[in-house]
Amino acid sequence: MIKSIDLKNWKVHKDTYLEFGKGVNILIGIMGAGKSSIIDAMSFGLFGTFPALNSGRVKLDNLISNSGNAEEASVKLTFDIDNNIYAVTRKIKKGKGADALLEKNGEFLQTQPKRVNEEIESLLKLNYDTFIKAVYAEQNKLDYFLDIRKGERKKSIDEMLGLDRFTNVEENTTSVIGMINRIVKEDEQLIGNIDVRLIKQQIKDLSQKKQEILEEISSYKLEFGKLNGEVEKYANLLKELKESRAKKLKLKEEIASISSKINTLKAEMEKINIPMPNAELESSHLLAKSKFESLSLDLEKFRKQQMDLAKEIASVNSDFDTNSKKLKENEEIAAKIKEFEKLDLEKAISETQDKINHKNLEIAADEGGVKELSKWVAELSKDISKCPVCDRELDTDLRLKLLKEKNDSITEYRSKIALYKKELNELKDKFDTFNNDKRKLDILKGKLEDVEKIKQILDLLSSKKENLKLQYNSVAKTVEDYNSKRDLARAEVSKIEKYIEDLKRQESLKKSIDSETKLLESKNNEFQLIDISEEAIENAQNEYNNLYSKHNEVKVRYETGKKRYDDLLVQISDKINQVNRVEESEERVSSRKRLVSSLEKFRTALQETESELRNRLVASVNELMADLWPKIYPYGDYEYIMLNTYKDDYLLEGIINVNGKSEKVSIDSFASGGERSTASLALRIALGMVIVPNLKWIILDEPTHNLDAAGISKLVSVFSETLPDIVEQIFIITHDDNLKQVHQAKIYMIDRDKGAGTPTLISEV
């Protein structure tokens, strides 16, 4: 049983929660209120799809509510099976598809949409296709089976009843029989085109010729083996002689290269000229390096003095600039103070305050006059006959005259008050301006410093700056002198170090010359030991060429014979394969003919089984409709209805009484709209119970469509008494308030202001 559904941002539902009961559950509301959306959500929760989504009429992202810029929608469906509570939750995220979660008794059971679908189908023993065909009748599709065309109706009902599997197997069997017959025909043509006796004689002749060629190539092979050994022997000898010649030539090149290298090293050594011995070089290098380091230390000391003076000069310049700026700012402040003192602000503030007080008194006096006159106006506005002050007789004309005078006076006072308030605001603005100027004057006086003192500081800083500049120039001259001396010392150090490097290079060259001289002597000795002549090489080459020529000649004869032998083997193999193929084809033809006979028997059995099963299923449907018809149809003109099978169609037919005789008529063409709807309802319930024997739910969208008052009344009775005994839960979507009369039904009113685009509202009746 489905226990509840919880929708968040699903189509027109912002936040909808419904609990369902056993028996009938009715959703009543106007078109577009969101009734069908709830049933679509049930299907989506169970199977991850519903008809409009499955057919592509809507996209997944379109299911997310437009209100509030929602990015996610969710459906949570709770149902129970065998005393276990299951909850399936599916969430749709904009642009990211949907995910799913299935729980059992509050604990995780399965995730991923595909796994959740498989688990639910296993639990319900019901898949989406069967759910749509047997459980859920979409809006205006109750009479779906009456509207579809002849051939499609048979196919659709056969699919519902599961008979399409027999048809598919039968068609496949026929296709296989035809394919096998074509193959048999091809094999029989092949057998008829081949003379097996002739081919076997050809195999015998070719085998005899093969033996003759085999003896011939065996003799070539033996001779080839002997020559191969001789060729290899002379090839190795020729290789050794050529290697010795190559080695001697290489030694000759190496001897020339070493001699050239020794001459080059001697020439380089002669170019090196050192003016003093090694001991004197070391002493001179130490003295020159010591002098350079001493000059570097003195130079660094004077450079530090130069940097310190530069920093002090920069500091004095900064102080001078700061005080110069300060002097300029104080001179500007003094000028501004003189301008403010010319205004005599204390006097201006006092005079303006007196004017403000005077204006406040004038406004208060006039407002008092308005108040007093308003009392008079209030009294004179009454219908009185005596003066409220002097108690004399007061006629209407005089009262009205006095009332006008008083109102005119009030208007005059109010005009004066408005003028005074405007003048008062202007005075207050002046007062605020004078006060602001007074505050500015006080601030400026607080900022003003002793200008003469600043000038004295500037004079001192200027004098200090000149003195430091003289010191800096003196130290800079000293740095320049020491820098020149150090450069001369560095050059002397570099010159001596070059002599030292030349001495080292001279020693290295001497060692290299001695080493290369020894190597040259070794190579000369090795060269003298190699004794090889071009005549010996030529004789060996000629003998090798003669043997190689004979070797190739025998090789060609052998390979030619071998090719003839291999060609014969291929011909013999092809002939044997031809004979084998014919014999195999004969066996296949016999085997396939037996298979075709078996398949034809199987096809006949399928046709008979399909026909028998169709008759039984249709009989079950008709039996259920015969029981259900009088309970849902309010009139007596149709005795009963039945589903009949014809060669290429199913027809829903009714039995009517015409002049005392029962006649059969087609509901499709003969019945009215209400009769079609009632008959379709009976057919759908009966088909559902046959297809799903343990049918737990049925969902009907607008089942009263086309029904008159009597039909609706009868349907109310069926939903109240008959159908709950057959089906555990019935869900009805309707705009018809008559269905509120269904007994013990759980009824929800579905409402929505479509003009304002607000979300769906739910209330339980």
User: For 452-461, how does the pLDDT look when each residue is reduced to its tens digit (9 = 90+)?
Assistant: 888 888 889 8
Cα gap 310→465, rounded to integer Å? 11
Element counts in the chain: helices (H) and strands (E): 17, 15
**Do residues 221 and 558 make contact, with C-beta atoms less than 8 angstroms apart?**
yes
Q: What is the pLDDT of residue 274?
A: 77
Q: Find, among 528, 522, 537, 538, the residue nearest to 243 by Cα.
A: 537
6 or 629: whose pLDDT is higher?
6
Q: Find, among 84, 115, 83, 80, the residue nearest to 99 by Cα.
A: 115
**Do residues 713 and 736 make contact, with C-beta atoms less than 8 angstroms apart?**
no
Per-residue pLDDT tens digits for 420-434: 899 889 989 988 988
Per-residue pLDDT tens digits for 460-518: 988 888 898 998 898 889 989 989 998 998 988 888 888 888 888 888 888 998 898 89
Per-residue pLDDT tens digits for 61-92: 999 988 768 899 999 999 999 899 999 999 99
Cα gap 650→642, rounded to integer Å? 10
> For the domain 341-451, what is the CATH code?
1.10.287.510
Q: What is the pLDDT of residue 142?
A: 52
DSSP string of 67-79, one letter each residue: GGG--EEEEEEEE
The confidence band for 58, taking pLDDT boundaries of 50, 70 and 90, is: very high
Does pLDDT of 545 surpass 90? no
**Do residues 229 and 595 make contact, with C-beta atoms less than 8 angstroms apart?**
no
**Do residues 648 and 113 make contact, with C-beta atoms less than 8 angstroms apart?**
no
List the alpha helices (DSSP H) in 692-753.
709-717, 723-726
Tokens 């129970």 label which residue?
Answer: 80
Q: What is the pLDDT of residue 145?
A: 65
Does pLDDT of 206 surpass 60? yes
**Do residues 355 and 419 make contact, with C-beta atoms less than 8 angstroms apart?**
no
The confidence band for 115, taking pLDDT boundaries of 50, 70 and 90, is: very high
The confidence band for 28, taking pLDDT boundaries of 50, 70 and 90, is: very high
123 or 237: whose pLDDT is higher?
123
Does pLDDT of 383 surpass 70? no
Q: What is the pLDDT of residue 695?
A: 66
**Do residues 705 and 142 make contact, with C-beta atoms less than 8 angstroms apart?**
yes
The confidence band for 110, taking pLDDT boundaries of 50, 70 and 90, is: very high
Q: What is the pLDDT of residue 385?
A: 58
Q: What is the pLDDT of residue 388?
A: 60
Task: Supply 24's token pair.
Answer: 């009938």
Per-residue pLDDT tens digits for 668-699: 778 877 788 788 888 888 887 887 766 688 88
* 3-state per-residue secondary structure call for 659-675: CCEEEEEEHHHHCCHHH
Q: What is the pLDDT of residue 386?
A: 62
Cα angle at 746 between 742 and 747, to 5 degrees?
80
Q: Which of 291-295, 333-337, 607-611, 627-631 has the highest mean pLDDT?
A: 291-295
Cα gap 750→28, rounded to integer Å? 6
Contacts of 711 (CB under 8 A, 6+ apart): 633, 634, 674, 677, 678, 704
Q: How many other CB atoms are found less than 10 A from the CB of residue 429?
A: 11
The one-letter amino acid code at 466 reads E
Torsions phi, psi of 125, nearest 5? 55, 45
Tokens 């997310």 label which residue?
Answer: 64
Cα gap 277→500, rounded to integer Å? 10
Contacts of 403 (CB under 8 A, 6+ apart): 377, 380, 381
Q: Which of 159-173, 353-367, 622-636, 639-653 has the lowest mean pLDDT?
A: 159-173
Q: What is the pLDDT of residue 2?
A: 94
Does pLDDT of 746 surpass 90? yes
Torsions phi, psi of 749, nearest 5? -95, 125
Does pLDDT of 349 surpass 80? yes
Cα gap 698→131, rounded to integer Å? 9
Domain residue spans in the chain? 2-150+693-764, 196-266+532-580, 341-451
119 or 675: whose pLDDT is higher?
119
Q: What is the pLDDT of residue 103?
A: 95
753 or 311: whose pLDDT is higher?
311
The confidence band for 387, taking pLDDT boundaries of 50, 70 and 90, is: low
Q: What is the pLDDT of residue 16?
A: 94
Superfamily for 2-150+693-764?
A: P-loop containing nucleotide triphosphate hydrolases (3.40.50.300)
Query: Mean of the pLDDT values across residues 519-542?
Result: 84
Q: What is the pLDDT of residue 143?
A: 58
**Do residues 130 and 118 make contact, with C-beta atoms less than 8 angstroms apart?**
no
Cα 572 to chain center, whole Å?
Answer: 66
633 or 34: whose pLDDT is higher?
34
Per-residue pLDDT tens digits for 396-412: 777 788 888 888 888 99
Q: What is the pLDDT of residue 657?
A: 79
Does pLDDT of 6 surpass 90? yes
Does pLDDT of 163 surpass 80? no
Cα gap 356→344, rounded to integer Å? 19
Q: What is the pLDDT of residue 50?
A: 92
| Half-sphere exposure at residue 180, Cβ-oriented, CA atoms within 13 angstroms | 19
Backbone dihedral region for residue 48 (phi beyond 0: left; psi -120 to 50: alpha; all else: beta): left
List the alpha helices (DSSP H) in 136-163.
144-147, 150-161
pTM of the model: 0.46
Query: Mean of the pLDDT values across residues 272-295?
Result: 83
Q: What is the pLDDT of residue 370?
A: 87
Q: What is the pLDDT of residue 202?
A: 83
Cα gap 640→622, rounded to integer Å? 9
**Do residues 437 and 341 make contact, with C-beta atoms less than 8 angstroms apart?**
no
**Do residues 285 and 529 make contact, with C-beta atoms less than 8 angstroms apart?**
no
How high is the mean pLDDT of the chain? 85
Q: Which of 18-22, 608-612, 622-626 has the highest mean pLDDT?
A: 18-22
